[in-house]
Amino acid sequence: MSRVIIDSISISPQLASGIKNLEDIVQSDFQRARKYLSPFALGHGPRAAIEARTKNPHHSGSSSQPSPSGTGRAITVNDARSSNTWTGANNVFKADATCQSTRKPVTVDYGSGSFTGTEYTGTFILGGQASGLRIENQSFAVAKEAQGFDGVDGILGIGPVDLTSSTVAGESSVPTVTDNAYKQGLISTEMIGISYQPSQAEGGGNMANGSLMFGSVDKTKITSEVTWVPITTQSPASKYWGIDQKITYGSSTESILELTAGIVDTGTTLIMIAEDAFLKYKALIGAEMDEKTSLLKLSADKVKNLQSMYFHVGGTTFELTANGQIWPRALNAALGGDADACYLVFASTGQNSGSGLDFINGFTFLQRFYSCYDVSGARVGLATTPWTEAETN
């Protein structure tokens, strides 16, 4: 058995199509949350990026080479909307001898984007031609029309296979890259581990670095044992990478959100919590809503009093420090905020707790904690990292 590490995914503070400022990020996350809460929402499981050169507010960069046609394709980390793998959003796909069209139409709507096209089968190479993971007979789509994917060519879907249900005409489901890698004996466990680092600086520096591992946990990225919890039974969170979690604030362990269901999502930028929990957090820390950005804002005299938030998952408490709650100030000006302002990374889902999806642990949470997604075991894992207590913001 082998494991493949897709490492050093460079992240730059470029913006997704239609995203120009912090307010756009808040609105995008809010619309995503509404989509998740919709009774018609489909799919779950994260999608991770290989050779990402996306203009996304939270993940972009370049890495190894997924290659259905023998040529590298730009593929993005995105949200937890589906598990379809596809290409051709911006570059014309030219099929070679390693792939062929099934002539079956495919359509996927992500809420923040969509595509229609045709399903193909072919060889995928993840991690480079010489030493990468070679997956035979992989199904993928070639886009005819795509919206919301400027600067990136598609998505590598790594969630459970059932998330592709009803996306390809005449197919009940489509095997994912992870599914085929496991069935072909290339990885010993149908699992993905994802790590990020906190955002660093505007401009030439990377916004963050990330790595993706197929088949096991990358123990070089963690500083604790992995806490595993089963997918929650509460709907609609159970449709995604949903977990049960409680959130408290400060040394007084003031409850912000009682034990409830929500999701872990690489594609949501902020940490979203139910409206009643959001208002309680806002009052406890003395924050104000900033009209310019639609983010919570703390005055300078209150920043020093900001305490940690505690995420209680499966018997383990994960501490999000005060610094981890602050939006990277180095990126404020680039996204239309005040350069020295202290904005916070929490936002409201727009619904009170009890909805069945009361939180979204988004990218700003995952910059501080390693996350693992076990497809076969239907469970999610979290662990601390060297960056959990970083003071970068």
Q: Which of 29, 79, 244, 358 is catalytic?
A: 79
CA 275 – CA 362 distance, rounded (Å): 16
Which residue spans within 36-190 are E strands per DSSP?
86-87, 100-109, 114-126, 133-147
CA angle 231, 235, 236 (to 5 degrees): 100
> Is 79 annotated in the active site?
yes
The answer to whether 71 and 282 have CB atoms below 8 angstroms apart is: no
Q: Which amino acid type is present at position 226?
A: V
Strand partners, 105: 118
> Is 265 annotated in the active site?
yes
**Residue 179, φ and ψ in degrees, nearest 5:** -60, -50
Q: Which amino acid type is present at position 175?
A: P
From residue 280, give the alpha-carbon distance in Å to each of 22, 85, 283, 290.
Answer: 22, 40, 5, 17
Backbone CA torsion sign across 172, 177, 181, 187: negative
Question: Phi-psi category of 166—alpha, beta or left, where left has phi over 0 and alpha has psi -120 to 50?
Answer: left
Q: Which of 265, 290, 358, 374 is catalytic?
A: 265
Catalytic residues: 79, 265
